[in-house]
Amino acid sequence: MPQRLFIAEKPALGRAIATALASLSGARPSPGRGYIDVGGDCVTWTIGHAYDTAEPGDYSSTWNKWSLDVLPMLPDKWKLIPNGDIADQIAVLKERIRRFDHFVNVGDAEREGQLIVDEILLENGVDPFSPKVSRVWVSSFVEKDVATAVAGAFPNAQKKSLYEAAVARQRADWLLGMNMSRVFGLMIQASGARGFRVSVGRVQTPTLKLVVDRDRQIENFKAVDHFAPSILFAHENGTFKAAWQFPPETPGLDPEGRLLDKSVATALVEKIAGKTGTIDHYAETPKSTSPPLPFALSTLQKACSQKFGLTAQQTLDVAQELYEKHKAITYPRSDSQHLPNSVHSDEAAGILRNLSGVRELSESAGKANPKLKSPAFDDKKVTDHHGIIPTSEASAARMAAMGEVERKVFLLIARTFVAQFHADYRYVASTATVLCEGERFRANGTRVVDQGWKTVFGAEEADEEEEAEGTLPSMRKSDPVVAKTGSVDPKRTKPPAHFDDGTLVEAMAKIHLYVLDQEVRARLREHDGIGTEATRASIIEKLIRSKYLERKQKGKRKLLVSTDAGRQLVDLLPSDLVAPDTTAMWESFLERVKAGEFTLAQFMDRQTQFVRKRVQTAIAAGAIKVKGFSIEPLEGHGAECPQCRIGKLITQAWPFKDEYTGRRFLRCDNWVKDRADNCRYRTNPEGFKERAPLEGEGGTCPGCGKGTLNGGIVRKDGPNKGRPFLICSEVDREKPEGCQHFEWKDATPCPSCGKAMLRRGTVTADTPNKGRPFLMCSAMDRNDPNSCRHFEWLDDKGKASGPKIKGEGETCGVCNKGRMMRRTAKTSGKPFLSCSNWKQGATDNCDNRIFPDDGGGRSGGRAGAKPAPGTRPRAGRPTAGKRSFGKSP
């Protein structure tokens, strides 16, 4: 009989658990569809969140409407909605849960991982904190570590506070995002603004402020020219350059200690030139640097942005492919840069051996010493996941299947791992101080002793942040030196750099650096900034989709800059919604919930109070004007709608492209997408001139005999713009079986038959003429060869295509029956006239054609010519005996 159901957060973790169970029990895994049986146990999995937070409309139909009357939205009982993207796996989970009595939560070893599995159990009627639910805490995918974790399963109730912290975060985000986005959106709409998107989020809003603040710093930056005089000194062992150390009383210094007066610098150089000085101090200090730590996702995103120009999302996508498809790297959404000791003892040698078979890594991996242990290996610093490194399956064969960008990212990860097994980079840092004519000068130098791990990356990968320094000659205190020459090096201060994906992700991770309040800064440093490794890229993309940020290419960099809308949003929102201080406060309380010092109910009570107060304050402040989006309200703005008596009248700008474009009018706001009883009441725009009623307007529809004929004018751009029409009041586009009566009121009689009316149309068939407007006789019947065949092309504005050709509209001079109508040759595009007295299948067709480019025109063809059975005339200029009609649609 089955004993335990293990529910993993993802398929890969589920397979690792199944392998560990097989190792512990000796049973053979038996895969099923969406699960694996191992002896009496079963392992199944989800793929991220199986249930999403419900939308406002899922709670109440009234919440589906954007209205101040329903704010704040504070659910009494929170709802979750199944994730439709994994409906099949949810069905597997439901079926498996019904079969078992004991369950094991195998979510990732973190807050969100705890929530993902616990909510699955809750939604399927299982108390996740009852004695029948256990927890397996996996921090490493190494088989023996997974087996140890499975054997050490503990009661899931021990992680209840972690679950509550995750729920608190989820619900707080919902309350803030839904309510703040709506209240500020509605207050902006109250000013008559349209088209300004309002989206507020706990993380996305302070992230936007980072970019806005940086952009404004750059725009307001004033460059400062300053000078740094230096002297080339000669020592018996060689020459070196030393910079003047400004005394505090030096004239021309600004508050930042920069020398602004060039004359002071020039005088110093002239004073020192040719003089003899002495070495006041000289020291050599052996130093070394350890290899760079393996990548966390945020540091990988920064590196890929700088080196390859990838966005944060692109880096994540590539890393996910390397992880899932190629199985070449470990879990990519890691927030840790350290590695467990088990990787060093159990896996490193095998990984290095495989990497030595990769051409680009053969030398560095071949020379790597697997016994060396860099500071990256530290169990105490490994969090829920360890640093991103190659897997034991990463090899030349795996790389052969990778795309170009995938190879680049993989090699970046692999080189960083290989570097952990090379010696430290060792060098000697030397400093010297020179006294000359009462002035002090300082020089620094570097002498490389051993390149160590830097050989893994090559010379071109040298640390770009290190300033190149020369090597100082060996000296001793009191040694004489001579000032040979001097120079006044002009310098100019530079503004801070625009953010790109990499540096913005880094800023989000180190948000404490952007906070002035020391207490808040300490909280943020403790909680690793705002957002998570897995969500920061999506937050940036959401800000771009919302048109608050945009990317701009500058050289090799893709800069992230704020838009006018993004800046206005930051300016109009209260400081406690845009500053990271609020996020820090929430994270502090979430940590207290996690520690059991604060209950979920207490936390949510505070969040509810905050949201309720913020909504009330926003409403009391009144309408918010947004530059470029808001318009002055008309009289009657805010009044009750006279038609539905439910909505309120709001001022809007006339959206149609006609003589009233941009003018103000009132419209009822009682409209919700996809709702059948929407109120469509509106007033006319300012200065609107009532049109004269159309003939037949207000009468009974001749089509259905029930509806009333309503008149109108086409306002949409196109060939029919400005045309009057009548349409039955019973016409419903959603019900094609109902009345469809429609008629133009400016139709003209057909010039060919003189009986029917001309109607307009547009070619819809996928041909070279697709989209071209035309006129054709309403009596034309393709199945009746005796019906009128009148047809002519129109230009994009609904007019005849080109100036009138001589003879156009006149009686045919050959048959004396038809009229000469304009056509266009398909191949040459040139206009010509042809007789309308041509009907497919008829025996008395007139084939008269006139080409205006033939010196006044000439007739072609002959009366009575017959087309081939079942064919239509082809466009193009005819040769003798061949017709050349433009093809009608």
State the catalytic residues.
Answer: 331
Closest by CA position to 96, among listed 7, 21, 1: 7
Q: Residue holding tokens 């957002």?
A: 531
Enumerate the β-bridge partners of residue 561: 550
- Contact residues for 888 (Cβ-Cβ < 8 A; gap 6+): 774, 776, 789, 791
Rounded to whole angstroms, the maximal C-alpha distance in the chain is 121
Query: Which of 803-828 are b and which e, b meaning 16 or more Cβ less than 10 Å from the residue's Cβ?
Result: eebebbeeebebbeebbbbbbbbbee
CB atoms inside a 10 Å sphere around CB 523: 20
Q: Please say whether the beta carbons of 814 and 835 come within 8 A.
A: yes
List helix spans (H) across 430-513. 454-457, 501-509
Enumerate the β-bridge partners of residue 77: none
- Contact residues for 45 (Cβ-Cβ < 8 A; gap 6+): 7, 8, 9, 10, 11, 13, 14, 34, 35, 89
**Phi, psi angle pair for 614, to nearest 5°:** -65, -40
Radius of gyration of the chain (CA): 39
Q: Which helix (H) or strand (E) holds 713?
A: strand 709-713
Query: Which of 164-196 are b and which e, b meaning 16 or more Cβ less than 10 Å from the residue's Cβ?
Result: bbbbbbbbbbbbbbbbbbbbbbbbbbbbbbeeb
Q: Please say whether the beta carbons of 48 and 116 come within 8 A.
A: yes
Q: Tell me the one-letter amino acid at 531.
A: G
CA–CA distance from 443 to each of 57, 228, 266, 402, 468 (Å)?
69, 13, 20, 49, 13
CA 465-471-472 angle, to 5 degrees, is: 125
State whether residue 63 is helix, strand or coil: helix
Q: Please say whether the beta carbons of 338 and 376 come within 8 A.
A: yes
CA–CA separation, 619 and 785 (whole Å): 70
List helix spans (H) across 344-401. 348-355, 362-366, 396-400
CA–CA separation, 28 and 35 (whole Å): 14
Q: Residue holding tokens 């000659």?
A: 473
Q: Please say whether the beta carbons of 47 and 11 come within 8 A.
A: yes
Q: Tell me the one-letter amino acid at 456.
A: V
CA–CA distance from 418 to each of 300, 308, 366, 369, 397 (Å)?
16, 21, 9, 9, 18
Angle between helices 11-25 and 143-151 (to 10 degrees): 70
Torsion of CA 89, 95, 97, 100, to 10 degrees: -140
Closest by CA position to 165, among listed 111, 118, 110, 108: 111
State whether residue 366 is helix, strand or coil: helix
CB atoms inside a 10 Å sphere around CB 886: 21
